[in-house]
Amino acid sequence: MPIGMNQTTNPFLYGALALDEAFTDREAELAELRSDLANGQDVVILAPRRYGKTSLVWRVQQELLARRVLVTHVDLMTTPTKERLAEKLAKTIHDDLASTLYRARDTALGVFRGLRVTPRISLDPDDASVSFGFDVGHRAADVDATLERLLELPGELGADRNRRVVLVLDEFQEITDIDPHLPRVMRSVFQRQPEVAHVYLGSKRHMLERIFNDENEPFWRSAKQLQLGVIAPALFAPFVVARFRATGKSIEDGAVARVLELTRGHPYATQELCYFVWEETPFGAAATPAEVERGLAGALRSEDAHFSLLWDSAPAGQRLLLQALARESGRPYTAVYRRQHGLPAATNVQKALAALRRRELVASREDGATEIAEPFFGEWVSRLGT
C-alpha cells in the first residue's frame, strides 16, 4: 500500500497532476521522452486536452534530475507580457540552474549582470527566495535584448559546467499572444543551444500543430513530435484493478470492461470515472457494472457546469452536429449520415465541424470517423432533455 494511503483514501485522482502511484502506464512514452531529452533532442508533445502531457513531463523531469540533468520550467500562461516572461525566466534560471551550479548567492545572481534592462531583485526574509521584477516603460528594443539574453543563459550555464539542460515551455501556444515576433527570436537562440533540450507542450493542440507544422513559422520542423494517444485497455485494466486492491476493495472484470468502454482509454476520464466508482463501492466488496453506472452519474454531475458552458457557447449548427455525434460517431459530410441524423447541407456541416475542431470538442479516429473528444461530454449531450 502506498505511503500515506489508507482504506478511506480514494486512490484515483483527476483534475491535478497524476503523480507517483497515480501515474498510469505510459512506459513507452516515458522511455522515448527520457532518451530524447538526455540526448538533447527538442520535443513537442501533441495530444488532446486531459491526456496527461504535463504529468508525463513531470515524471520524466524527476528521473532526469536524479541523473544530474538540469531542468527548468516556464508556464507561458502566467506570462501575458514580455516583462512578465522576463521575470519568470530570470527566476527559474536562478532557482533551477544558477543556484544549483553556483552555491554562493552572489555568484548565482552574478549571471544576470549585464542585462540590457536591469531587474529589481528582491529577497524574501522568510524563506530567502529570490524574485525578479522588470518594470514596464522600457524601450521595446531593450526588453527584446533582455529576453534574448535570458534565453541564452541556460545554454551557457550548461556548457560552463558540462551539464545537460532541459527547458520546458508549457502552454507554448501563448507565445504569439505575448509578442508575434518572439517565436523568431526564440528559434534564433534555441538553434544555437546544443546543450539544451527544449520541450514544448500546451493545451491547444491545433495551435501547437500550426506553430510546428506550418512552413511559414519559425519553429517549422524544429522539434521531434511526440503524439500521446489513449491508453490501451490491456495496459489500463491492470492499473485499475491494482488501485482498487490497494485500498481494500476490488472490481469485477465486467466492471473494468464497462469503465474502459465508456472512457475509451482516455486517461483523465478513466481516472475520473474510477474515482466515482470507488466511492460507490463498499469496503471489502467488489465494484460491479451497477457501481459503474452510478459512478458515471456522479461524473456527469461533476462535469455539468463545464459541459453546460461548452453547450451554451455553441451556435445551433454546432449543437445539432454534437447531438448527431453523441448518437453515433461517423462521417458527417456524407449524405447518408446527414440524412440519418437530420443534418443540413454539407457546407453547413463543414462549417460547424471546423469550428468544433478548433474548439477541440471533436476529433478524428484512426479509421477517419469523427467523434466527440471528451467521452463524458458525448454522454452528457445524449442525455439532454431526458
Alpha carbons 250 and 248: distance in angstroms, whole number:
7
At 145, list the grid cell: 535584448
Give the integer Cα–Cα distance in Å for 363 and 384. 21
Q: How far apart are CA 244 and CA 4, in angstroms?
A: 16
Q: What gap in Å lies between CA 311 and CA 319, rounded to an integer?
A: 7
- Return the SS3 of 9: coil
Out of 3.20.20.210, 3.20.20.140, 3.40.50.300, 3.30.465.10, the CATH code matching 26-227 is 3.40.50.300
Element (H, E) at 123: strand 120-123
Task: State the DSSP code for 21.
Answer: G
Residue 322 grid cell: 454534437
What does the domain layout of the chain look like in residue ranges?
Answer: 26-227, 233-309, 316-382
pTM attached to this predicted model:
0.78
Report CA-CA distances (Å) from 310 to 48, 183, 228, 360: 16, 31, 24, 11
What pLDDT is attached to residue 103?
83
CATH architecture under which domain 316-382 falls: Orthogonal Bundle (1.10)
93 secondary structure, DSSP code = I
Q: What is the pLDDT of residues 350-362, one digit of tens each?
A: 999 999 999 989 9
Note the pLDDT of residue 168. 96
Q: CA–CA separation, 128 vs 285, rounded Å? A: 51
Provide the angle, in degrees to the nearest 10, between the axes of the packed helices 289-312 and 267-280: 130
> What integer pLDDT is reported at residue 24 of this predicted model?
61
What pLDDT, on a 0 to 100 scale, did the predictor assign at position 6?
46
Strands of the sheet containing 43-46, edge to edge, are: 70-75, 165-170, 196-201, 43-46, 224-227
10 Å Cβ neighbour count for 62? Answer: 12
Q: Which amino acid is at 278?
A: W
Write the DSSP string, 347-373: HHHHHHHHHHHHTTSEEE-TTS-EEES
Q: List the chain pLDDT tens, one digit each, 386 residues.
A: 343 444 578 999 886 554 445 456 678 889 999 999 999 999 999 887 777 788 889 889 999 999 999 999 999 999 999 999 999 999 999 999 999 999 888 999 999 999 999 999 998 888 889 999 999 899 999 999 999 999 999 999 999 999 999 999 999 999 999 999 999 999 999 999 999 999 999 878 888 999 999 999 999 999 999 988 788 888 899 999 999 999 999 999 999 999 999 999 898 899 999 999 999 999 999 999 999 999 999 999 999 999 999 999 999 999 999 999 999 999 999 999 999 999 999 999 999 999 999 998 998 888 889 999 998 999 999 999 66
